[in-house]
A and B are shown apart, each in its own frame.
Chain A
């Protein structure tokens, strides 16, 4: 059951799929642990957290813009994408803030990550617009690309800008369904994009047991 479900994990990229470098459960768990250890993020679910039937939970899905078939009125193409991790950003007082979707990648070199990242940005834009339609406001969600290796170093500083979102959407117009790209929406999205390079030795960067126990104990007091 589990093996069958794993084929459906995370974003289904249309390009470079043969080397999309799905991170796998253990790698995703490492990133989850690192994010948790910052106490700025709180990850509640992973694509590998399966229900009793061996399926990922629906909340891992991010609905996408889709073309509407004028004959049937039905959506055509992908109606949602799944991310590897889903959690929350935590506010100053530890209360949950915006939802965070995390796409995890396991690379030992830059590879075709830049191309995949562009499609990921188009997916984020599509999901952001779709969710905005549902709530008639900018949705309370943010996105993170968490990878084990840096990429696109000649444009690295611009990877989370509105211009980069625009360029990504132009490369993947199918991700926008019937919608036209709007720069103002990209500008709302850009500050909600995170890019994290996760060192393979990240475990060694986390606090040790004694400090962790003290922090957990304090958190228990604050949140119990």
Chain B
């Protein structure tokens, strides 16, 4: 056993660092660094750069365009991109539908969709949740009825992240309403967002942002060749995909970056004439959070080490999701405490690049409260933390 990185891993990390230093566009980096809004084009151009480098889909098999990295290399890569303030790669294509297609899709689907996901030509969104089917996803009602060589889709999806930007949506739809169990009558369909009968309506979140949407389907005609795998087997594919979604959600690298930002705020804020970072009580709060993050990091590293030695990933994905999101939320909470009364001003323009009026209060303050409010989502999405605990209780503890 050895806590040091191997020299090969260190060399890999240096390679990633050098690449990031030379290839990440400075204006995008600045926006990420300062918590400013990112537009579709920011994500798209970074995606293209990674695509050209061949690094856009490290988790994919090499023959589909993956990198062939070890789990440790992937971990280091995630950590370095977060540290460099690179934007995240939108997960819906690369991390979600891509793996479903290369695992369960037919060769026509693989040939058509996978290269377009890699190149960034196609943007995807995830149509799982519905008003009546959140935690209880199997309760979904959106219907797909076979009519010759199309499915006719009717229903509503909700909370669909970046539907306003997407070219395609992958949907769970009900194809057999009479199946013995609700999980059994579900299919996995790929739907073009430009199909007639689709309407996207924004949902504004508590911070005033627009990242999620309602998506309505009225007699949307979807070619049968857009069915992934077998009809009525969609639940299997959906669960496969969820395990991918949860793994990335710990986001240790990004939390390290945010923690560093919190420390900078604490050093700039004053308490009785001294930096807040020197206030014993506040220091202890940060220290305690940092210990939480170390525990998360080493839990993830242990999981990686097991994976490297060929063992099946266990339920650590659930644990990483629970603790990862709690830590992300705690960082936003302490930042809120640190900025004090300057959490109050609501200046959404200040979060747009190019706003060059004098800031209200310290420059870093504008995004702090919106971020705290917005980040409440982290314990809700991707399977709420209550649901994660339920899974661990059932599958690990066998309660």
- Co-assembled chains A and B: no
